[in-house]
Amino acid sequence: MEITDIRIRKTFEEGPMKAVVSVTFDNELAVHDIKVINAHDRYFIVMPGRKNPDGSFRDIAHPINGAFRHMIEVAVLKEYESIHPLETAEAAEKPAETAEEPAAEEAEI
C-alpha cells in the first residue's frame, strides 16, 4: 500500500496536539483525523478513534503491524516538518538523548 497524498488539515500552536491530518492510500482510501502529537519530547501520530462509554478510547482505523505504522508516521511527520521545521527539528534532537538514558538505566539493573 502506498501513501499517495497527505494533507495537513489544521494546526495548533498550544497544547500537545499539533495537527490534524488526512492520508490517502493508493488514490483510493482516505483516513481522516490522524493527529500529530508532541509529548514527552517527541512527535508521534495517533490514529482516529472514538471514546467508549467507559472512558477508554478505541481506534476507528489503524495499521495492523508496526512496520506499516512506522511508514505512516514517518511520512506524516515529514509533511508536518515541511510546515513547522523549527518545532520538529528541536524535538528530533531530544528523542536521541532520551533514547540513550533508558538503555543506561537498563544496563545498571
Q: Give 72-92 pLDDT, tens digit per residue.
A: 999 999 999 998 864 544 544
How confident is the model at residue 84, as a pLDDT? 83
What does each C-alpha distance from 38 to 29, 32, 79 come to in angstroms?
A: 26, 19, 15
Domain count, the chain: 1
CA atoms within 13 A on the CB side of 35: 15
- CATH code of the domain containing 11: 3.30.1120.40
User: Can you tell me the mean pLDDT for 32-54?
Assistant: 94
Domain containing 59: what range? 3-108
Q: Which tens digits make up the pLDDT trace of 38-47? A: 998 899 999 9
Q: SS3 for 3-58, per residue?
A: EEEEEEEEECCCCCEEEEEEEEECCCEEEEEEEEEEECCEEEEECCEEECCCCCEE
